Amino acid sequence: MTEHRTPRTPRTVELPGLSLAYRESGPADGPPLVLLHALGERAADWEPVLPALAPHHRVLALDQRGHGDSARPGHYGLEAMRDDVLAFLDALGLPMADLVGHSMGGAVAYLVAQERPERVGRLVLEDVPVPRPRPASPVADAPDGPVDFDWAAVRAVKEQIDRPDPRWLERMAAITAPTLLVAGGAASHVPQAGLAELAGLIADCRLVTIEAGHLVHLARPAEFVAAVAPFLDPAGRDDRAG
C-alpha cells in the first residue's frame, strides 16, 4: 500500500550552515514537487490548494530561509534561496523535482531552473517579479509584534527585485522545463506585460491569466488548481520527476 503523508507536521533538514523546515504530503513514492512561498509567508500558505493541486505527487512545501520554522541566518537573497533549494534536493536524494513558486518563491524557482535545468521537471510560476529594474521604495520599519519571518529578508529581497541582476532576464532562455506562468491580471501590482515578456523568453511556456490579483492561489484557489493540476499531472507526460 502506498504511504500518504499529511502536511501538518513540520520536518527539518540540516543543510551546511542552515536548518530548513518543510511540510511533506501526498504519496511517499510520488514524483517530488517543491512548493516555494512568497516573501513573508511560510509553507502553510499552500494549504488551501492542497491536496487537490498535485494529488499524485510527493509534495514538499518549504519554509525558505528566514521564514517560518527555518533558520534565520541573517544572510538573505534570491541566489542564496536558489542554492538552498538545490541543497534541499541533494539532502533528500532527489535528482529532479517539479517546482511551483509564488512571487518571491517563483523568482527562486526560475533561478533554480536557469542554474540547473536538468533538475527541474515542470515549472509553475505564479505572478512572479519580472527581473527588470523598477523604482525603489522605502522598506517600512519592522513591526513591533512578532512575525513569522526575519525582517532583514524583506530588505534584502526587495533590493534585489528593485535592482535585479541583468543575467536573470538574459538566462530565461536557459530554462528547458515545460513552464506554466500564472498571471494575476489587472488587479495585481506585478506588470502583466512583463509576465507576457517572460513567457516569450522561456522556450516551452504557456501563460494563463486568472483575474485574482497577486495572491492567485489564495483568492481563487479553485481556478488556480484547475489551471495547475492538469499541467502537473504525471499521467499525461513522459518527463515525470524521479
Query: Mean of the pLDDT values across residues 78-82?
Result: 98
What are 81-126's pLDDT values in tens digits?
999 999 999 999 999 999 999 999 999 999 999 999 999 999 999 9
**pLDDT of 236:** 66
Length of the chain (residues): 242
Q: How confident is the model at residue 45 (pLDDT cuts 50, 70, 90)?
A: very high
What are 136-192's pLDDT values in tens digits?
888 888 887 788 999 999 999 999 999 999 999 999 999 999 999 999 999 999 999
Closest residue by Cα to residue 30 from 62, 9, 59: 59
39: left (phi over 0), alpha (psi -120 to 50) or beta: beta
Output 140-148 pairs: Cβ under 8 A, ≥24 positions apart: 147/40, 148/40, 148/41, 148/42, 148/67, 148/68
What are 8-40's pLDDT values in tens digits?
568 999 998 899 999 999 999 999 999 999 999
Domain 4-235, second-level architecture: 3-Layer(aba) Sandwich (3.40)
Every domain of the chain and the residues it spans? 4-235
Residue 170 CA to chain centroid, in angstroms? Answer: 20
